[in-house]
Amino acid sequence: MRRYFASRIRFGLARAAGAAVLVAVFAAAAPPRKIRVLVDPGHGGKDAGAIGWKRTKEKDVNLRTALDLAKRLRETGLFDVRLTRTKDVFVTLPNRCRLANDWKADLFVSIHANYAHDRREKGAEVYFLSDHASDPEAARLAEVENAADAGPPDPSRDGEVAQSILGVMARTENLNRSSKLAATLALALKKKTTLSSRGVKQASLYVLHWTDAPAALVEMGFVSNRKDAARLRSASFRNKIAKALASGIVEYARSKEFVEQMRQGSMTAGTQ
Ligand SMILES: [Zn+2]
């Protein structure tokens, strides 16, 4: 009997040790908390955004896709998700950024649809920040998307960040992460939808400039193009876009860049 107990205790200890190792492995690999994603459906209320084929309003397709994306992200159990708007209301650009920054979002994804006078222009493209537009079209886009522009969401803090070397380093790091996020989203759209891919571009877009988190802005397609607009008006096609974006966000969340970001974030949180 004694031997039996002894072996049972040994077995129990071994199992406990194994479990402890497993817990340690998971603790190292898994983020310490749910990942905060701020989903930003562009425009809303008095600001319709672009109006295209059959009077398709950008603000409507943005909101519907964003709501679907938020739902899919929540369903994974990995993310805490907030939206800058859940209905057809106007939200200023500074307020969109404040929502992300005050909440300390880990990721910021803005959802838009594109417009061009040339109705043949079509396809999806994903933006991350640059003070210099990647091409004249990107410069034009910044003019359109920044139309509801205002001053910085928090002027005092901007001066502080710009002056410190740490601020510059953090900004460079954030830009690298944003570039990775944008590339992952563009690839997911290319692989999982029939939208033609216009790739990744850079522009000085307000919401990308003023959010602290790695940020990307998705232009899902052109409301001015008949075929793209028909797709964006279709709930089943928007589902495909939302599904593709959700899978891209999950993939980005698994990247070494993001794991590092979360690790640094939890270390900073621990020292505060
Ligand atoms: Zn827009």
Domain of residue 109, CATH code: 3.40.630.40
High-pLDDT (> 70) share of the chain, % = 79
Q: Quick one: pLDDT at residue 23?
A: 45
Residue 24, domain member (yes or no): no
Element (H, E) at 124: strand 124-129
Q: What is the domain range of residue 81?
A: 31-271
Closest by Cα among 194, 237, 190 to 218: 190
Two structure tokens written together for 41: 């459906």
Give the pLDDT mean for 155-176: 69
Tokens 């222009």 appear where?
Answer: 121
| 113 CA to centre of ligand 1 in angstroms | 6
- Assign 130 to helix, strand or coil: coil
Asked if the structure places residue 210 within a domain, the reply is yes
Largest CA distance in the chain: 87
Q: How far is the CA of 144 from the centre of ligand 1 (A)?
A: 7
pLDDT in the model for residue 155: 61
Domain assignment present for 99:
yes
Residue 140 pLDDT class (50, 70, 90 cuts) = confident
Range of 31-40, 119-128, 134-143 with top mean pLDDT: 119-128
- Structural domains in the chain (count): 1
Cα–ligand 1 centroid distance for 93 (angstroms)? 11
CA distance 49 to 60: 9
Residue with tokens 């070397």, as numbered in its chain: 165
In a domain, 17, yes or no: no
Question: Can you give the pTM of this predicted structure?
Answer: 0.83
pLDDT in tens, 89-118: 999 999 999 999 999 999 999 999 999 999
Summarize the confidence of residues 155-164 as an average pLDDT. 55
Residue 23, in any domain of the structure: no
The CA distance from 235 to 65, in Å, is 9
pLDDT of residue 173: 87
Q: What is the per-residue pLDDT for 21?
A: 46
Ligand 1 mean position to 91 CA, how many Å? Answer: 13
Ion ligand 1 neighbours, Cβ < 5 Å? 42, 49, 112, 145
pLDDT, one tens digit per residue, over 171-225 is 888 899 999 999 999 999 999 999 999 999 999 899 999 999 999 999 999 999 9
Residue 200 lies in a domain: yes
Domain-embedded: residue 237: yes
Could you tell me the sign of the dihedral formed by the alpha carbons of 152, 38, 48, 62, in that order? positive
Q: Is residue 5 scored above 50 in pLDDT? A: no
What's the mean pLDDT when you consider all of the chain? Answer: 85
Q: Is residue 185 part of a domain?
A: yes
